[in-house]
Each structure stands twice: as C-alpha cells, then as structure tokens.
Structure 1
Amino acid sequence: MPANTLPHLTWLRAFEATARHLSFTMAAEELGLTQSAVSQHVRNLENFLGRDLFIRRTRALDLTEAGGNYLPTVREAFDMLTQGTRSVFGENRGESLIVQCNLGFALFWLTPRLRHFQTAHPEIALNIVTPIWDPERNSDASSLEIRFARHGDLPHGAERLTQDRFYPVCRPDYQNGAFDLDTATLFECSGHTGTWESWFNSQGRPFTRWAEVNRGSTFGIAVNVALEGAGIAMAHDTLVARLIGEGRLVRPFDHAPPLSEGYFLIPPAKPDESAASRAFADWLKEQVKDR
C-alpha cells in the first residue's frame, strides 16, 4: 500500500456496499453501477491494500479476516462524513438555515427566544454563526444575516429591525449601589459609536477617562463584565432590556442617547430564498415588534 495515501472513495463505497450485501449484484443496484464496475472497484481496493477482502465462491461472497477487520473502520468513516455534512449543511435547503449575527445579539437576544421559533418550526434546524470581525467575508455562506451597523454601510435590501438607545449598565450591587463614574471600572465594545466618550459628550460633559476604558471585541464581553459585577458597561436596548427587566442589571443613570447603529436583517437573494429563511425572517420581525 502506498505510504501516506488513502484509497479512492469510490473503491471504499463499493467495498462497504458489497460487504453489507455480500453480493456484487445487489451492491451495484444500490450504487447505480454495473456489477462488473463494482467488482472492479473492489479489486482495485484489494490491489491497493495488498490483501484480499472477500472470499469469492461460485454463488456467494464471504469477508476474509482482513475484510472483516477493515469494514468497521470504513463504516465509521462514512458515518462521520454523513454526520459532519448534516451538521454543517442540514438535510436540505428547505429544512436547514445558517443564520449569521454578532455574538452579543446571539447570546442576549436571539437564544433566549429560540424556543418559540423551535416550537413553531420544529422541522427547521438552525446553524448560528457569530463572526467577530468582517462579517461581509462570511456572509455569502449564510442563509440570512442579522448585522449590527449603520444604514449607509449595508447592502441594498437590508431591513432595519431595531432603533436602540445606549447607556451604562451594571449589577444592582456594584460599588454597593454608589455607581461612582470617577472610580468605577468602565467597559465598552470596540468598533461602534456608542462609547463612554460619546455618552459623556452627548450631555455636554467632558470625558477624561478615555485612556482607562477597558474594551472587548464583542458586546458579549462587555455585558458579561457587568453581569459578573466587574464593572459598568456601555450597552444598548436590544442586548440588555431583558436583563434589566429580570433585575440582573440596572441602569444607574437615566441619560440614553440614540445609537447610530442598529440591527438589520439582510435576507438572501431571491433565488436563494427558502421556506426556512422566509419562516425565520417572519418570526424575527414579529419578535422584534414584541421586544
């Protein structure tokens, strides 16, 4: 057998089917090939491995010891390929859906509501992907996308889902309720306009602690800092409204200016629409109305 070389997949498929049926003829019917083609594929595999896999009798086949030992490995490999393909791509376009969104939206808005979608559409399997930077690079692989951005930075057809305001949040017991911005640990998410500096500036107040602000690459980091009582984080309605309603976070200050960015739905191009993508988009827009 050649070193560091795998046998052809066609040979392995012919071997597995023949071993299951112990018949070249039945394997050929299953694979849509001629009996002679299946027999030749198996012979090619045997020549490659340097061992006989079948005992060939006049009207019957039996596995050799080598064939019987090899068969579980081949079956396991095909099972892994099947499971991996299903997990990434789903059973078919109508019943699987790749949804791309940022991590904060997935953690704090989408996943708490997914049980409602799953109850309404148990036939749809979701694959939720959360790129941190450059979502455009990954969006072609998704069925639809929810993007946090300004309207002018989005492709044609993007539909606004939210109009957010931004403000500081923290745990109710942070600093024993003193909420002193001169001494608090401040957190924000990088790469957007709802920052500590812009929050101060929108009140006509100077911000002098910009060098001390801690930053994370996702909203998930900033909000979790607040949830863990490690600081005061700058956040916005979509991410924290539920957490505030549950009493897990509070708004220690009333000022809440409008956020330039928002969450937008970017649907698939018309030829790529599916029943699953339409169902998810309709559900999403209804959920946003009720938030």
Structure 2
Amino acid sequence: MNTSPIMACTDENAAPYEAPDIDDPTFDGWGDGGESVKAGRYFGDRSYLFTGDTLGIVLRNATASDWGNDHAWDNIRMVDATPQLDKSFEDNAVPVGESTNAVFTVTNSSDLASKAGWSFTDTLTQGLKVAGTPTTDCTNGVVNATKGGDAIRVAGDLNAGQASCTITVPVVASQEGTYSNCAANITENVGVLLPDCASVSYEPTPVDPVDPVDPVDPVDPVDPKNPDNGSTVPVSSVGKTTSVLATTGFKDSDLAIGLGLALLVGSGAILYFSSVRNRRTTSNGTT
C-alpha cells in the first residue's frame, strides 16, 4: 500500500531497541545484526477504496534470501481511514433573496494517506437553490451544480499528507424560513462518512428607515391693518433645496375675507398662511 518501501533503519519514525541482557556467554545480542534493532509503527501512505463485503491481507516475501533483509512483521491491521464529510453555511441568517455559501469539507483521517475516488451528491432542501458558480480546492475536484437547480454533485481526491479540502457553493432562498441540510440530503456517497445537519435562516428583507422630517419655520402672519402688498415669502420644501415663493397681500381693489392659502410642496408638507382682510378707503367710507 506504500508508494515506496519502509526503511526502518533510516526512517525518522523508527526507534532503537536494545537486545536483552542474558547471562549466557554464547549469546552475542542480536547476532550479526549488532546489539540493537530499530522498529516503528507505520501507516501506509496510500489507501484502498473498498466497496465489497469481505477484505483480507496476504503477506508475501518477495526476497527469499536470508542476507541483508532481516525483518519481522507484527500486529498487521486493516484500519478504516474513510474521510469525514461535513457541511455548514457561512451565515446563520440571511435576508430573503440574498445568497450565502454552502461549504462542504472533506477531512482526511489521522493517517493522512492519499484518498482517491471519493464522491457524493447533495440535494438541497426544498426552497434552496444554487445561486452561482461553485469552487473547490480538492485535488482533481469536479463540482456540477447548475444555477437555479438543487443538485450538487462532487468528486475528488486527497493527496498523501493533505488534511482536508473544501467545496463552496452559493445558495439562495426566495421565501422566509429555516432550511436544514442533513445526512438524508446526501446520496450516492462513495468513500466519505456522512455529515451532521447544517441550517441557515432566511429572514424578511430589511426596509431602510425614513429620514426624519425637518420642522418647517412658521410664517409670520400679515398685519391686516398694514398689509405688505406684493411681498413674497420663501417656502422651503421638506428634505429638498427647492424653494417656492408665495405672494401675500392684495391690491387696493381686492377684497379677501376669511381666505386661507395653502401650498403643497414636493415632499408632501402643507404650509398654511393666515387670511387677511384688505381694506381700501373711498369717499363714502372704508370697505
């Protein structure tokens, strides 16, 4: 299962073991091998993707000579080294219509051997859709996820020594609610352990607050005994820089009794002007 032979004499993971002290003049330690040996515990740097029901080991000696290759094997085991698949959402809560990323992480087992050929398909919970182009840093990674669809198909490898890799897929929901993605959403999984649930909540789209309305300066009432005929009064529209000019006062021939003047400006504010009685003097008296 290794890409290269294990050399216990030089490998940094091997440790020396001295020969036992035996009171026998004819015993010379480990014989021609000296008074100590080196040994270690090793994992293979490659793995085997197995999909059957029965698995066994056969150990063969490819070099039958008794010179130069003295060694021993002990405690040979087959170890489950299946990578773990986990998933999460980058955001806990998102406004309706905005996207967040669904992140799939494939974590190597502690042996860090290469894991080739794993794959899985994730079908998003109803209401969630793929919102953009997926990305991955997995070795030989391939991700098929169509924008607007709900299926995410992934395949890839882990190199020897590689701790993990990720697959990132933008997703979006158009309705409020909490969307969970669990092990039941995974199908056609090969060579990965199933994940726990991950959830994201979609909330109402926030409404921008309305700017407060500035108070409008009151207009001084016109003195009915001394109207300023033909003068103008500036009126500022709320929240804007535009001004409106309203003419107050009346000509000598005008008569205004109980008159109310109102202006409707651009932002919806209504300004009221006091009524005035305009007087004029004639030879018969005052009107």
Class of the TM-score when normalised by the shorter of the 2 chains: under 0.3
The structure whose residues are more often helix, as a share, is 1
Larger relative contact order (Cα-Cα within 8 Å, sequence gap ≥ 6): 1
TM-score after normalising by structure 2: 0.21
Point out the structure with max Rg over C-alpha: 2
TM-score after normalising by structure 1: 0.20
